[in-house]
Copies of this chain bind each other. A is one copy, B any other.
Amino acid sequence: MSTVGAGIPEPPREEPNSAWLSVSELDWVRGRIPLLYVEAVPVRVDGLGVVTQVGVLLRANSQGEITRTLVSGRVMYGETIRDALFRHLEKDLGPMAFPQLPASPVPFQVAEYFPIPGLSAYVDERQHAVSLAYVVPVTGTFEPRQDALELTWVTPAEASSPAFHAELEGGRGTLLRAALASVGVLG
């Protein structure tokens, strides 16, 4: 049985600070501590700041189903929220997306994911995660770096439809609606 905190071989360093936690350590933590996440809804805006397009990711989940999701990921130890947000945007949209992180650190919504449905609108079977969610204008070009991901752009009207929300995993349809409402374009 693995002991924690001593004598652990270094895992491969794929992400900043990920060396701090092995897979089994992360599993242990996931059952005992709420994990902090950031989520981003990438948008394109016009010259007056009005949101004209909304970016949503397509992903094949572990059952091989194609689902829609948002840019999201964990905040690492020692990492600022802005750094985490930038890192996950770059990971999912590529290095040329040129995200304009908001000047305000206050999220448009706080999404609480629980392993068991019913405690909130959000479900994550793996863990209790609390996610700070931001709308982030992007101005560049996109090349998702993870094989399973594709970025699609839709209008706010499309993104507002119930059918579209149903395709988002883990209750993120609710989060997307809140994002659209926060920028005044929920149809």
Q: Does A154 contact B (CB under 8 A)?
A: no
Cα–Cα distance between A93 and B187 once the two chains are bound (Å): 29
| Of B45, B75, B105, B130, the contact of A109 (CB 8 Å cutoff) | B105
Task: Give the dominant DSSP class at A's interface.
Answer: loop
Question: A103: which B residues are within 8 A, CB to CB?
Answer: 43, 45, 49-51, 135, 137, 183
What 1/0 mask marks residues of chain A from 77 to 94 whose CB sits below 8 Å from any chain B CB? 111111100100000000
Q: Does A102 contact B (CB under 8 A)?
A: yes
A contact set with B: CB distance below 8 Å: 1-6, 20-21, 25, 28-29, 31-36, 43, 45, 47-51, 75-83, 86, 100-110, 112, 114, 119-121, 128, 130, 132, 135, 137, 162, 174, 177-178, 181-184, 186-187
